Amino acid sequence: MKLFFLISGLVFCCGALAQAHGDQERAVDIKRHRAMAAAHEAAAKCLESGQPEKACLEKLAKDCKGLGIGKYCGMRHQH
């Protein structure tokens, strides 16, 4: 029972911290989302131009470095 309350408390605490974004953090999030969107748009245009997928993904990985989770800004394909 104590473990249940401990886990519940941690979940509540972490949830409260995740929601506590001020204006400055929100502005940073907006900037990051726009940068990720631009990187993905550039990757789409690269693929549309007929360039090899490998080259487009390498550019996407470079453009996404430090922006999001994973090598490609958090976007994974099913193929």
Rg of the chain, C-alpha, whole Å:
18
The full set of domain ranges for the chain reads: 24-65
Contact 67, 73 (CB under 8 A): yes
pLDDT tens, position by position, 17-73: 556 679 999 999 999 999 999 999 999 999 999 999 999 999 999 998 888 777 888
From CA 63, how far away is CA 73, in angstroms rounded? Answer: 9
pLDDT tens, position by position, 16-29: 455 667 999 999 99
**Average per-residue pLDDT in the chain?**
79
pTM of the model: 0.65
Quickly count helices (H) and strands (E) in the chain: 3, 0
pLDDT(79) > 70: no
